[in-house]
Structures are given as structure tokens and as C-alpha cells.
């Protein structure tokens, strides 16, 4: 928060009183955003409830009771295939198996 306050002070110093242009526009946008977040929504604003729980889309699908377990297992497997670290571990494991097989067949 201190960084935001320091940036605000710097913008005020650049813009000066009654200034126009990009620094003044940034400053006014920052002040308006701060006023809105501090006091809640503006008067007369329509506030919409969240449509779903916050979280990653995959986590929401996996938590849903309407999705079949087979589909959840397929999605988990697809996600594991996209994980670079898991992919690297699988490649290393397969290389070890091939190396062991090569050593076994060599005279």
C-alpha cells in the first residue's frame, strides 16, 4: 500500500494543481478508484451477486456433483498431461525403464 501512496504523491507532484493531461488523468482515476473501494459501491449502483464460487474452472467442474466420475477422471488425466513437471517425471521414468532394458539385453 505504501507503493501506491508514493505513486500517488509522485503523480500529484508531476500534475500540480489544476493540471490536465496524462498524469492528471491517472491521478483522478486513482482517486476515484480509491474512493469507490473505500466506501463500497456508489449510490444507486446495482450490485450483482457472484454467478459461481471463486476458483479455477477445473476445480469448479470437479466439485460439481452433476459431472460423472469418469469425466472427472478424464479431466484430471488431461490436466496431468499438461503439467510440464509431471511430463518431465514421466519422461525420466520411461528413460530409466529403457536404460534398464538395454542393460539387461547387453552381453
Q: Is residue 52 part of a domain?
A: no
Region 89-100: what's the mean pLDDT? 94
CA distance 80 to 58: 12
Given a cut of 90, whether residue 97 has pLDDT beyond it is yes
The parent domain of residue 26 ranges over 2-39
Q: Is residue 53 part of a domain?
A: no
Q: Is residue 46 part of a domain?
A: no
Region 79-93: what's the mean pLDDT? 87
**Of 67, 47, 69, nearest in space to 57 by CA:** 67
Given a cut of 60, whether residue 19 has pLDDT beyond it is no
Instruction: Work out how many domains the chain is built from and give that number.
Output: 2
Region 4-23: what's the mean pLDDT? 60
User: Would you state the pLDDT for residue 44?
Assistant: 75
Q: Is residue 49 part of a domain?
A: no
Given a cut of 80, whether residue 49 has pLDDT beyond it is no
Q: Is residue 21 part of a domain?
A: yes
Q: Is residue 47 part of a domain?
A: no
Count of Cβ atoms closer than 10 Å to residue 25 Cβ: 13
User: Would you state the pLDDT for residue 10?
Assistant: 62
Amino acid at each position: 500500500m505504501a507503493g501506491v501512496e508514493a505513486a500517488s504523491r509522485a503523480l500529484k507532484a508531476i500534475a500540480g494543481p489544476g493540471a490536465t493531461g496524462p498524469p492528471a488523468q491517472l491521478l483522478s482515476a486513482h482517486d476515484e478508484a480509491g474512493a469507490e473501494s473505500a466506501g463500497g459501491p456508489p449510490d444507486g449502483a446495482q450490485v450483482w451477486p457472484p454467478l459461481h464460487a471463486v476458483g479455477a474452472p477445473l476445480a469448479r467442474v470437479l466439485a460439481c456433483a452433476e459431472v460423472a466420475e469418469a469425466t472427472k477422471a478424464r479431466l484430471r488425466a488431461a490436466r496431468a498431461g499438461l503439467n510440464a513437471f509431471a511430463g518431465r517425471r514421466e519422461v525420466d521414468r520411461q528413460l530409466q525403464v529403457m536404460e534398464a532394458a538395454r542393460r539387461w539385453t547387453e552381453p
